[in-house]
């Protein structure tokens, strides 16, 4: 899987509908979901997708390219404060940021598919 959409589609397909409905019900928005499940679900995603490895660079670039300027600026401002000499953009996107974006997009897609 080299694109964000492929990852989101795969995760929606592999996750039971009941679990996705529960995630939507228990998390009022994507930010709540990513914050609450960063260590559990997020860690699983980072490991499953090898987000700490160089072979995930194409996926991270696609994720970066999907972001709005506001989202990119938020990530850049965060890392500028914590690690001003590092470049966490594009192919170098930090695994934590990449998994957070994936989680948010999964939440959004599940809400669209199962709400109502």
Task: Give the whole-angstrom CA distance, residue 45 versus residue 112.
Answer: 21
The pLDDT assigned to 115 comes to 84
The pLDDT assigned to 31 comes to 94
Q: Which two tokens stand for residue 19?
A: 């679990």
pLDDT means per 10 residues in the chain (116 residues)?
Answer: 96 95 93 94 96 96 97 93 93 96 97 86
Half-sphere exposure of 110 (CA within 13 A, CB side): 29
> Domain limits of the chain?
4-114
Judge contact between 90 and 64, C-beta under 8 A: yes
Apex CA 14: angle with CA 11 and CA 16, to 5°?
Answer: 110
Task: Give the whole-angstrom CA distance, residue 48 versus residue 90.
Answer: 20
The pLDDT assigned to 116 comes to 60
Half-sphere exposure of 28 (CA within 13 A, CB side): 0
The phi, psi pair for 99, rounded to 5°, reads -70, -35
């Amino acid at each position: 899987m080299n694109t964000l959409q492929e990852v989101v589609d795969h995760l929606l397909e592999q996750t039971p509908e009941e679990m996705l409905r529960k995630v939507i019900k228990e998390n009022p928005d994507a930010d709540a979901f990513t914050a609450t499940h960063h260590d559990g679900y997020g860690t699983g995603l980072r490991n499953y997708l090898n987000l700490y490895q160089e072979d995930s660079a194409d996926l991270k670039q696609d994720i970066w390219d999907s972001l709005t300027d506001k989202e990119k600026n938020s990530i850049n401002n965060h890392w500028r404060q914590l690690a001003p000499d590092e470049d966490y953009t594009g192919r170098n996107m930090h695994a934590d940021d990449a998994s957070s974006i994936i989680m948010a997009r999964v939440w959004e897609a599940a809400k669209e598919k199962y709400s109502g």
